[in-house]
A and B are shown apart, each in its own frame.
Chain A
Amino acid sequence: MKVLYFAWLRERLNRGEETVSPPKDVTTIVDLMDWMAKNDEGFELAFEKRSLIKTALDENIVDHDTPLGEAKTIAFFPPMTGG
């Protein structure tokens, strides 16, 4: 699946997007974050305070315990500051 990062998260990770292929036992967003952190130290550091990170599955904002389902894109970003 495609993973997108925005704002300071993108800067900390030094990339705006990537494609990942998590194993089958990764079923929720929390699972995915755990799996990514395990495989990438930069990710673990960037996601230090997970409560600050918002997520969108196929462009809809969802909680971290949401199942990934058939989603094609997941986006991670800090709280929004538009307007």
Chain B
Amino acid sequence: MSTIVRLQNEIFDPGQESNAFLKDETQAGAAVTFTGIVRSNAKAPITSLTLEHYPPMAQAQLEGFATKASERFELQKICVIHRYGKMLPGEPIVQVMTLAPHRRAAFEGAEFIMDFLKTSAPFWKKETGINGEVWVEAKTHDDDAMDRWS
């Protein structure tokens, strides 16, 4: 089992990351890649998104979720990339990749990590639009999504 957790300010290329993740893997039967993207909204467009984070805790939490996921779903490899700082609509924010012998484990492992990440990793989003800045509020359906794994 190998786990990579990367926190970075720089933009990344989702396809390139996915290819690097799969390179030389011959024992796995399934890989899942989830990419979270900065979303604007036609009614209230945003010009940028800024992510604040608590660096040591974010790193530790993400490594912890990855370990839990690998034990629960018997994953062969996990990679989590999460950005912080300022980003633009259409840019990737987060990418979670899982590798497993079969598809169900790869799908569920990626979803498990994302559900925990949404509610329990110390990141905070602030949207900037024509009317100024607003901190994004936490959503209860994200809590519900996490609770279903308990």
Contact = CB atoms under 8 A, between A and B. Distances in A.
Interface string A1-32: 00010111010000000000000000000000
Nearest to A7: B124
B57 A75 contact: yes
Interface string B119-142: 111111110000000011110000
Given A6-B52, A75-B57, A83 B117 contact: yes
Interface of B: 36, 51-54, 56-58, 60, 82, 93-94, 114, 117-126, 135-138
A82 interface: yes
A59 B124 contact: no
A80 B120 CA distance: 6
SS of B interface (majority):
mixed
B2 to A, nearest CB: 22
Interface residues of A, number: 16
Contact of A82 (B60, B117, B126): B117
B54 A4 contact: yes
Contact of A83 (B93, B126, B135): B93
A62 interface: no
A82 to B, nearest CB: 3
Contacts of B123: 80-83
Q: Which of A7, A78, A82 has the most CB of B within 10 A?
A: A82
A6 B121 CA distance: 13
A83 B39 CA distance: 12
